């Protein structure tokens, strides 16, 4: 069998593919964080809790209303997005004039409250959620067995990430957003309702988290603490990619997934640490991140 | 006062940034199709006056009438939608947008804006550099042209220009002056804030002098030559 | 985040604490501190359920003793656990600390309780170090340990032909020890271990590790982890077709709450070892139904049942000798056999190990399950004498001296 650095080649390819799957989740979540930071200048600590809510909405729809995976794939992001809009309108929007530490503290507190409530009602062990009938089973790729659902995860999240990127980089609406990141006041003086745009942006970005949540439900356990560990890694990814950089967050998300996959092969114990080591190195060498622009 | 109907009338305008009270009762009016300049030393409150009209200050009181309607309590986007366009002192070119995206950014608020081709005719430099490069790669003069050019598309008829010649080479200043004159011929009303008195003197129909947040004097185009002495004193030229 | 929780927990504790610095049993007050994971991955198998179980034991005991129950979240961090224990003992006059899942935290608490002559009974922790090198005269290990789990599952699986193993091990004290213990049992019974991979605690994605396990060609993949790590690994193994591919999964530590979280579709056929199953006898059913009434229908895990049994036994002993010194009560507990719904003829040995029968169970198929929480078929009863490490092998100083 062919080997690379002492690892059988098929195993290595398998690990890279799996890394890409995790990277797809990272990309979806870090993309939302980057958009929120860019447009609202808020470090959204509630992102992990909203991701968890996306999964729970899916579970709730299935268990209590008999609504299956495919409708949930649309409904869960909508519900989470609507919750996000309420959060932005009633709380976050009052903090824009203050230091962004306040936004961080508010969303951090919200995350604790949301997760605490869910733990209280549902416990931490989690709830079962099966993949849809059409995506059960898998494909034998020769070097590994790829569960069909995981293949779908890559496709779905790449489509959504790429679509979001197109929306932001290639449309008039995206131009408003990018302009509002730089000079919200001036964009408003051109006649654009920037506060409304911020509300919708937050709603959209947390809907992305909800989408990642429902996408994750059949893969990971649907549990109130599912967002806790993930969100810290995702923050590190946003820092590595460059705060507020859209493309940076997508590319770094996928890249970190790959690096983690490799680490799990060569040094499994370090697999949850490697992202933070990379973050430290990036912060020392390029404080504004790999894709970020230095702030004036 | 002008004999033309006032498109903008400002009465007893006060404005604050946080705790600091910047404008202390500004009064002036701009007639339809006029070019009016606000003159004054650094820190007199000229820029704040423009920003207060756009709703971009913390708090303001008094009256601002646009075509007879009170706009002092409107938000900046609603003010812009009435057909008032603002070109800030720092030009406000967006680094993350290309030249063309910058030009196409402000939404059309009323019919009757200049077609893009006409804007390129007015500022030929922009046409050459419209694609690819980020807006901030342009030279200072080109950025100024872009900043003025993009608000002509929107159909706004009242333009607030804040120091359009600041830091530019004389040949560029001439070019901008020619464009402003052309805009007046096209029927735009222009409220101009200027440090460069000689630039303003050649363009504006009337001038207001602002000092310490109030209008202290006003001159018509014909007054200027006779009263040059006192004006120089006021402006500290 | 964790800090905030600690602050809240300690504030609550200060509120609960009464003026007395050291509760004397002559005052009629015994304070029991339930210390466990109330918010993390072990919160369902211990957590509030253990507090409920302790409270039930106190209520059922009745009598003249006035007993107060405190609870706190140790967040699976040894430093947090030992500082709460120290505060409870020094400031609140706690006489018994109970539960303490997460081996590393239990070892840290053991230091504190043995230094201060406070009784400590662990229901949730798994490491056998608590009754070996790190044993203490104030300590009792009630429900299970890594040895019992490895004997139960390891031996049974090898006997059924699962003679080559690959371990997926949680990278901390408990996981390492469970792996080592099971490895020994597997090898003693003629099997071999072909490899292992250590994963960080609270891993969300196990696919990389599962892929390594898959390519090792081992017949059995032993999950030397617990709680959410175990359920995530099983769920993902299912989607990667590990079992369909001919490999067998063995959860070395599985709780009924894990099976509940997975659902029978995914968990069916899984073999595991437990110290308690609610639907085994009339007595266990009676307790479990009362427990379920207070816990939204959830059935007790072996940790919950163990907490009830241990608190009941402790209170009996303390009332008998009218003392609340840690060593004194534990000595008394060792003289009386444990007989209740949890253990039949259980015995606390000199090293602090409470030995009782363990059960090898298999998770039912969805068709076999007739009612909520009807999850296990009991395959075998492992007698107390075989289930736990023989006393003569113990390195505990209380035994060797």
Q: What is the pLDDT of residue B202?
A: 86
Smallest CA-to-CA distance from C373 within C288, C311, C305, C304 is with C288
Q: What is the pLDDT along chain A (296 residues), one digit of tens a residue?
A: 566 666 777 778 888 888 888 899 999 999 999 889 888 888 899 999 999 999 999 999 998 999 999 999 999 999 999 999 999 999 999 888 788 789 999 999 999 999 999 988 887 777 888 888 888 888 888 777 888 898 999 999 999 999 999 998 889 999 999 898 888 899 999 999 999 999 999 999 999 999 999 999 988 888 898 888 788 899 999 999 987 788 889 999 999 999 988 888 888 888 888 999 999 999 999 888 888 776 54
> C70 with C174, same domain?
no
CA–CA distance, A5 with A12 (Å, rounded to integer): 10
Does residue C7 surpass a pLDDT of 60? no
The alpha carbon of residue C273 and the mean position of all alpha carbons in its chain are separated, in whole angstroms, by: 12
Residues paired with residue C361 on neighbouring β-strands, in sequence order: C272, C378
- In the numeric block, which tokens belong to residue A162? 């790429």
In sequence order, which ranges of A91-125 are alpha helices (DSSP H)? 100-122
Contacts of B96 in chain A (CB under 8 A): 178-179, 181-182
d(CA C262, nearest CA chain A) in Å: 5
In the sheet that B35-39 helps form, which strands lie side by side, from edge to edge?
B84-87, B158-162, B189-193, B35-39, B206-211, B214-220
CB contact under 8 A, B81 and A186: no
Top residue of A189, A192, A245 to mutate, by most chain B CBs within 10 Å, is A189
> C158 with C244, same domain?
yes
Contact C121, C140 (CB under 8 A): yes
For position C57, which CATH number holds?
Answer: 3.40.50.2300
CA–CA distance, C274 with C293 (Å, rounded to integer): 23
Q: In sequence order, which residues have a C-beta less than 8 Å from that of residue C210 and are 6 or more positions away?
A: C168, C221, C233, C236, C237, C240, C242
Contacts of B55 in chain A (CB under 8 A): 189
Q: What is the pLDDT of residue C2?
A: 44
Q: In sequence order, which residues have a C-beta less than 8 Å from that of residue B41 and are 6 or more positions away?
A: B211, B235, B236
Q: What is the pLDDT of residue C13?
A: 42
CA pseudo-torsion sign A89, A94, A95, A97: positive
Contact C73, C51 (CB under 8 A): no
CB contact under 8 A, A189 and B105: no
Residue C355: count other Cβ atoms within 10 Å of its Cβ: 22
Q: What is the DSSP string of chain B?
A: --SSPEEEEEEEEEEEETTEEEEEEEEEEEETT-EEEEE--TTSSHHHHHHHHHT-SSEEEEEEEETTEE-TTS-HHHHHHTTEEEE-TT----TTSBHHHHHH-SPP-SS-PPPHHHHHHH-HHHHHT-SSSBGGGS-HHHHHHHHHHHHHTT---EEEEE-TTTT--HHHHHHHHHHHHHHHHTT-EEEEE-S-HHHHHHH-SEEEEEETTEEEEEEETTHHHHTHHHHHHHHT-
Q: Which chains touch C (3 or more CB pairs under 8 A)?
A: A
CA–CA distance, C259 with C280 (Å, rounded to integer): 17
CB contact under 8 A, A265 and C212: yes
In the sheet that C66-73 helps form, which strands lie side by side, from edge to edge?
C66-73, C29-36, C96-99, C119-122, C139-141
Domain B6-235 has CATH 3.40.50.300: yes
> C236 with C327, same domain?
no
Question: How do residues C124-155 score in pLDDT, each as one tens digit?
Answer: 999 999 999 999 999 999 999 999 999 889 98
What is this model's ipTM?
0.89
> C164 with C299, same domain?
no
C209 near A CB under 8 A: yes
> What 3-state class would DSSP assign to C55?
helix
> C210 with C346, same domain?
no
Q: Which chains touch B (3 or more CB pairs under 8 A)?
A: A
C102 near A CB under 8 A: no
| Closest CB to B88 among A182, A186, A191 | A186
d(CA A170, nearest CA chain B) in Å: 10
d(CA B104, nearest CA chain A) in Å: 8
| CA-based max dimension of chain C | 64
Contact C98, C33 (CB under 8 A): yes
Residue C325: count other Cβ atoms within 10 Å of its Cβ: 16
| Closest CB to A261 among C42, C208, C245 | C208
Q: What is the DSSP string of B22-64?
A: EEEEEEEEEETT-EEEEE--TTSSHHHHHHHHHT-SSEEEEEE
Residue A135 vs residues A150, A152, C206: alpha-carbon distances, Å: 9, 8, 19
Q: Return the C-alpha torsion angle A185, A190, A195, A196, nearest 10.
A: -160
Residue C207 vs residues A219, C212, C263, C374: alpha-carbon distances, Å: 10, 9, 20, 30
> C7 with C121, same domain?
yes
Top residue of B77, B89, B95 to mutate, by most chain A CBs within 10 Å, is B77
Q: Please report which confidence band the pLDDT of residue B3 belongs to, taking 50, 70 and 90 as the band edges.
A: low
Q: In sequence order, which residues have a C-beta less than 8 Å from that of residue A174 and are 6 or more positions away?
A: A166, A167, A168
Its domain, for residue C169, covers 147-274+358-387
Top residue of B55, B86, B88, B92 to mutate, by most chain A CBs within 10 Å, is B92
Task: Please give the model's pTM, rounded to 2 decimal places.
Answer: 0.78
At residue C164, what are phi and psi to the nearest 5 degrees? Answer: -130, 130
A169 near B CB under 8 A: no
Any idea where the domains of chain A sit in the sequence?
Answer: 6-285
Contact A55, A226 (CB under 8 A): yes
Domain count, chain C: 2
CA–CA distance, C336 with C61 (Å, rounded to integer): 17
At residue B191, what are phi and psi to the nearest 5 degrees? Answer: -110, 120
Q: DSSP letter at C298?
A: P
CB contact under 8 A, A175 and B109: no
CB contact under 8 A, B107 and A192: yes
Q: What is the pLDDT of residue C18?
A: 36
Contact C250, C221 (CB under 8 A): yes
In a domain, C327, yes or no: yes
Q: What is the pLDDT of residue B231?
A: 80
CA triple C315-C320-C322, angle to 5 deg: 90
Residue count of chain A: 296
C3 near A CB under 8 A: no
| CA-based max dimension of chain B | 51
Q: DSSP letter at C100?
A: -
Q: Please report which confidence band the pLDDT of residue C25 belongs to, taking 50, 70 and 90 as the band edges.
A: low
Q: What is the pLDDT of residue B18?
A: 83
The alpha carbon of residue B142 and the mean position of all alpha carbons in its chain are separated, in whole angstroms, by: 17
Q: What is the pLDDT of residue A77?
A: 97
Q: Please report which confidence band the pLDDT of residue C201 belongs to, taking 50, 70 and 90 as the band edges.
A: confident
| Closest CB to A125 among C209, C212, C258 | C258
Q: What is the pLDDT of residue A127?
A: 83
The H-or-E segment that residue C400 falls in is helix C397-400
> C364 with C319, same domain?
no
Domain A6-285 has CATH 1.20.1250: no
CB contact under 8 A, A145 and C245: yes
| Closest CB to A221 among C208, C215, C228 | C228
CA pseudo-torsion sign B6, B11, B16, B20: positive
Q: What is the pLDDT of residue C3?
A: 43
d(CA A38, nearest CA chain B) in Å: 12
Residue count of chain C: 401
Question: How do residues C353-375 score in pLDDT, each as one tens digit?
Answer: 999 999 999 999 999 999 999 99
Q: What is the pLDDT of residue B6?
A: 86
């Amino acid at each position: 069998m062919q080997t690379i650095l002492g690892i059988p080649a098929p195993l290595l390819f398998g690990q890279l593919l799996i890394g890409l799957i995790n990277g797809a989740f990272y990309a979806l979540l870090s993309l939302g964080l980057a958009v929120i930071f860019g447009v609202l200048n808020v470090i959204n600590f509630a992102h992990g809790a909203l991701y968890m809510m996306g999964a729970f909405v899916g579970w709730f729809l299935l268990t209590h209303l008999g609504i299956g995976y495919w409708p949930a794939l649309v409904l869960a992001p909508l519900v989470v997005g609507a919750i996000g809009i309420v959060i932005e309108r009633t709380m976050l929007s009052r903090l824009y004039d203050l230091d962004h530490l306040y936004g961080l503290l508010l969303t951090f507190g919200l995350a604790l409250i949301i997760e605490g409530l869910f733990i209280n009602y549902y416990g931490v062990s989690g709830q079962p959620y099966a993949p849809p009938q059409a995506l059960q089973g898998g494909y034998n790729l020769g070097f590994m067995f790829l569960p069909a659902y995981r293949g779908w995860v890559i496709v779905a999240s790449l489509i959504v990430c790429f679509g979001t990127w197109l929306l932001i980089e290639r449309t008039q609406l995206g131009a408003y957003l990018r302009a509002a990141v730089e000079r919200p006041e001036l964009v408003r003086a051109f006649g654009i309702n920037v506060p409304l745009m911020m509300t919708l942006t937050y709603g959209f970005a947390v809907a992305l988290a909800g989408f990642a949540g429902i996408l994750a439900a059949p893969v990971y356990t649907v549990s109130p603490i599912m967002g806790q560990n993930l969100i810290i890694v995702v923050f590190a990814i946003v820092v590595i990619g460059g705060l507020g950089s859209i493309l940076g967050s997508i590319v770094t998300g996928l890249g970190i997934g790959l690096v983690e996959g490799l680490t799990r092969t060569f040094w499994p114990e370090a697999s949850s640490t490697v992202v933070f080591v990379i973050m430290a190195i990036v912060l020392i060498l390029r404080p504004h991140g790999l894709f970020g622009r230095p702030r004036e | 006062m002008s004999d033309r109907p006032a498109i903008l009338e400002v009465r007893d305008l006060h404005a604050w940034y946080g705790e600091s009270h910047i404008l202390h009762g500004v009064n002036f009016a701009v007639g339809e199709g006029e070019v009016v300049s606000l003159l004054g030393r650094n820190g007199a409150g000229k820029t704040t006056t423009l920003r207060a009209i756009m709703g971009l200050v913390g708090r303001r009181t008094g009256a601002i009438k646009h075509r007879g309607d009170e706009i002092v309590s409107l938000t900046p986007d609603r003010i812009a939608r009435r057909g008032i366009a603002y070109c800030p002192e720092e030009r406000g070119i967006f680094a993350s947008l290309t030249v063309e995206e910058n030009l196409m950014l402000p939404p059309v608020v009323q019919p009757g804006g200049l077609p893009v081709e006409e804007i390129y005719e007015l500022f030929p430099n922009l046409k050459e550099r419209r694609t690819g490069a980020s807006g901030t790669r342009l030279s200072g003069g080109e950025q100024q042209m872009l900043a003025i050019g993009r608000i002509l598309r929107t159909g706004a008829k009242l333009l607030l220009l804040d120091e359009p010649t600041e830091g530019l080479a004389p040949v560029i200043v001439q070019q901008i002056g020619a464009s402003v004159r052309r805009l007046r011929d096209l029927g735009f009303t222009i409220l101009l804030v200027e440090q460069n008195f000689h630039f303003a003197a050649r363009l504006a129909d009337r001038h207001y002098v602002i000092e310490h947040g109030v209008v202290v004097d006003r001159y018509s185009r014909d007054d200027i030559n006779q009263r040059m002495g006192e004006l120089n004193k006021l402006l500290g030229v | 985040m964790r800090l905030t929780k600690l602050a809240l927990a300690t504030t609550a504790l200060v509120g609960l604490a009464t003026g007395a610095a050291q509760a004397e049993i002559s005052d009629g007050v015994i304070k029991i501190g339930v210390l466990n994971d109330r918010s993390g991955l072990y919160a369902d198998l211990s957590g509030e359920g253990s507090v409920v179980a302790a409270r039930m034991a106190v209520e059922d005991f009745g009598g003249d003793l006035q007993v107060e129950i405190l609870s706190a979240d140790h967040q699976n961090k040894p430093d947090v656990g030992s500082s709460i224990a120290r505060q409870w003992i020094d400031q609140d006059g706690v006489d018994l600390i109970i539960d303490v899942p997460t081996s590393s935290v239990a070892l840290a608490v053991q230091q504190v309780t043995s230094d201060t002559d406070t009784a400590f009974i662990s229901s949730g922790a798994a490491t056998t170090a608590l009754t070996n090198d790190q044993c203490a005269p104030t300590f009792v290990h009630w429900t299970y340990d890594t040895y019992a789990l490895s004997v139960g599952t390891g031996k049974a699986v090898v006997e059924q032909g699962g003679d080559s193993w690959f371990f997926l091990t949680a990278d901390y004290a408990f996981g390492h020890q469970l792996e080592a213990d099971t490895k020994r049992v597997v090898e003693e019974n003629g099997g071999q271990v072909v490899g292992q991979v250590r994963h960080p605690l609270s891993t969300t994605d196990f696919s990389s590790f599962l892929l390594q396990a898959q390519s090792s060609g081992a017949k059995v993949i032993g999950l030397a982890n617990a709680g959410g790590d175990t359920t995530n690994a099983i769920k993902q193994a299912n989607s990667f077709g590990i079992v369909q591919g001919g490999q067998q999964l063995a959860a070395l530590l599985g709780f009924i709450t894990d099976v509940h979280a997975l659902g029978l579709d995914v968990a069916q056929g899984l073999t595991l070892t437990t110290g308690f199953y609610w639907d085994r006898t009339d007595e266990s059913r009676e307790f479990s139904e009362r427990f379920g009434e207070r816990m939204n229908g959830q059935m007790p895990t072996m940790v919950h049942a163990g907490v009830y049994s241990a608190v009941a036994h402790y209170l009996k002993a303390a009332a008998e000798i009218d003392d609340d010194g840690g060593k004194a009560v534990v000595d008394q507990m060792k003289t009386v056999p444990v007989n209740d719904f949890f253990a039949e003829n259980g015995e606390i040995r000199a090293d602090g190990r409470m030995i009782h029968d363990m059960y090898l169970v298999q998770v039912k198929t969805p068709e076999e399950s007739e009612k909520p929480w009807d999850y296990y078929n009991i395959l075998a009863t492992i007698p107390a004498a075989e289930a736990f490490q023989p006393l003569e092998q113990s390195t505990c100083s209380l035994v060797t001296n």
